[in-house]
Amino acid sequence: MFSPHTNSRSPAYLRFRRRLIAGLLSMAALAIAVVISQFRTAYLERELAVQTQTEHYVKAMEAHVLYSIQSVDLSLISFANAIKVLSAKQSRSPTTMTDLLSSRGANVNSDYWITFIDPKGNAIATSIGNSVIGASYADRDYFKIHLSNSYKDKLFIGEPAVGKISKKRLFFLSRRVETATGEFLGVVAAPVNVDRYVTVFENSRFNTDISITLVHAGGKVIARVPNFEQAFARDLSNTALFDGVRQAKAGTYKTFSVIDNLSRIFSYRVIDGLPLIIVVGSNDSETNRLLQQNYLTAGAGLAILLLLMISAGHFSLRTYRRQEERELRYRTLYSASREMERQLLVNEESMKLASLLFQNSGEGMMVVDANGQILTINPAFSLLSGYTEKELIGHRAYELASHRHDQEFFDEIFACVRDTGHWNGELWQQSKDGEEFLASMVVNAVYDEQGNPFRYVALLSDITQKKASEELIWRQANFDTLTGLPNRNMLYEHLRQEMKKTDRSQLPMALVFVDLDYFKEINDTLGHDKGDVLLKQVANRLLSCVRTSDIVARLGGDEFTVILSELRKPADVERTAQEILKKMSAPFQLGEDIAQISSSIGIALYPHDGADADSLMKSADKAMYGAKQKGRNRCNYANSGEKNTETVYK
């Protein structure tokens, strides 16, 4: 392969050629193995990153779905409790039931409505008009299940279906209504418009690679983006999803979607206590494209490296052949020079390989000297910072950092590198155009022969968008988008924390439910935009009535809650409630319009009225409903023994 001359080759030459070919083959195999191993590792790391991303998505979407279901269920419980106290004649009266269902209509929006169905399966009343009155729902699964009393005192969630009257895509939440003696009075049902979840799922995707699906435990799709139209009510019970669900309530798998036939990594989670499953998938097409591009680049680089190795081998053989033809007196000197030449060739190839990796790395790389002055940067760093290598050489590395960090922050980095030889973390950098970005950075020290650091190599990557996406998902899952107050999910977290504080300090804690009176009339007369303005002002007024250590949250609609923690005087609860009644009764300026409302307040004390968050919430809601029944614009305590049962603001 290397020389056409075979008749004059000496045994030494043949041995050298065999060794050289074996060495070249070993080096080629090692280089190929290293490249394959690196791409295999990168592929596995990317799959793990996609899996982690989908798992985070699942948790965020689970929080939203759980919050919406709890909000609807709270309305169902309230109406079921109200129907229980009606007489048999009143519960069969469409007029009476319509008045009852519409009395708190402000809690119900276009996403769902409330319907009461009598024991025979006929609709008696609805919160959105008379369109369904008289229609029979005896064949619906949610009526049959409550007729058989299989879900006593439990929420039932039915499979998705198209509404008989509305023709909308719905799924149904329902509760059994019965008397104190257990007599079946009927079913209170809430048809939920699936479009609300489609909108939320679509707005939550930060790229088109993501698919989000809400699936009923019976197997049918409730909502999905993308391809909602094709996916609605489609049965997935025989797919890989339910194979996984039968093994564990949460997990990850990779398969082709039966909806759009795209390969994705899917993460799923069965919502605790509910027959609902959240599934998030990502096909990561952009990453696959970049991986293919990297494969081509690496393949070309590897081919060049192999060509250089072959050329170097050919050159070595030719050199050896020429040297062998010299006189014997130079053989000893020739042997020594040949070894030196071989070492130089190895070093040259190593330097070329290092340069190739440095120039083609996807991460920004910067090399500085022992004094922190920049010696060189790679193209990826120029793309990240906007600076060319010529503009940065001789400058200090810390000059590229944002002013968000003080000198103490950099002192800690230098101390860590000095003591351990490396540092990794996050810091804000500033590009050439003045824009700041959050970077993940790894710094490693390079030591000389005496063991002293004389170079520092830094690797940087931009993680600004990743951090922003995580922050957005967390905020959407925990805060109300209209008022900025904590939502139901965050309220439960605060409530459990305050209960633990109360257990330690032995100072009482109160949970206050605030429901706005006549808010529906504001929406009906002035419009929902003015209603939203009023809700924002209500949030500000509630915050002005409490201490900075207290928590104000919005449950949804016109319902708010206040956590009054570590109360040193029992009168503090009464004083705060009176202040809220007073502030809510004052006129609201809504642009050119003036609105007049009031509020009904329910108060529950921990631990007297509930030993856990759920029971305390139910006690406060029941007390608030009692305040409404007694005339509104007042506060009412839960069953607190020696405490007054109500206080009216005059």
Distance of CA 230 to the CA centre of its chain: 26
Between helices 613-629 and 11-84, what is the axis angle to 10°?
A: 30
Contact call for residues 590 and 534 (beta carbons, < 8 A): yes
What's the rounded Cα separation, in Å, for the pair 374 and 384?
A: 16
Question: Tokens 């650091």 — which residue?
Answer: 453
Say what the pLDDT of residue 75 is: 84
Q: Tens digits of per-residue pLDDT, 187-245?
A: 989 889 898 888 888 888 877 788 899 999 888 999 999 888 888 989 998 998 899 99
Q: What is the pLDDT of residue 333?
A: 44
Phi, psi of 316 (to 5 degrees): -65, -40
| Cross-strand pairs, 564 | 510
Segments in the chain below pLDDT 70? 1-8, 35, 38-44, 46, 91, 103-110, 129-131, 284-294, 298, 319-320, 323-357, 361-362, 640-650
| In contact, 440 and 426? CB cutoff 8 Å | yes
Residue 181 corresponds to which amino acid?
Answer: T
pLDDT at 512: 96
Q: What is the pTM of this model?
A: 0.43
**Residue 357 confidence (pLDDT):** 66
For 524, list phi and psi in degrees, rounded to 5.
Answer: -70, -35
CA 260, CA 285: separation in Å to the nearest integer?
A: 14
535's tokens: 């809700």
Task: Using alpha carbons, select from 351, 380, 610 the residue that is nearest to residue 495.
Answer: 610
Per-residue H/E/C for 428-457:
EEECCCCCEEEEEEEEEEEECCCCCEEEEE
Distance CA 313, CA 17 (A): 9
Cβ contact 114:188 at 8 Å: yes
CA distance 436 to 227: 37
Q: How, if at all, do strands 598-606 and 634-637 pair?
A: parallel
C-alpha span between 636 and 577 (Å, rounded): 10
Structure confidence at residue 334 (pLDDT): 44
How many CA atoms lie less than 13 Å away from 280 in the CB half-sphere? Answer: 24
* Residues contacting 541, CB < 8 A, separation 6+: 580, 583, 584
Spatial separation of the C-alpha atoms in residues 322 and 329, rounded to whole Å: 15
Tell me how many degrees the CA angle 29-35-37 measures, rounded to the nearest 5.
95
Residue 326 pLDDT: 61
CB-based burial, 444-468: b 16+ in 10 Å, e otherwise: bbeeeeeeeeeebebbbebeeeeee
At residue 588, the pLDDT reads: 94
Ramachandran class of 153: left when φ > 0, alpha when ψ lies in -120 to 50, beta otherwise:
left
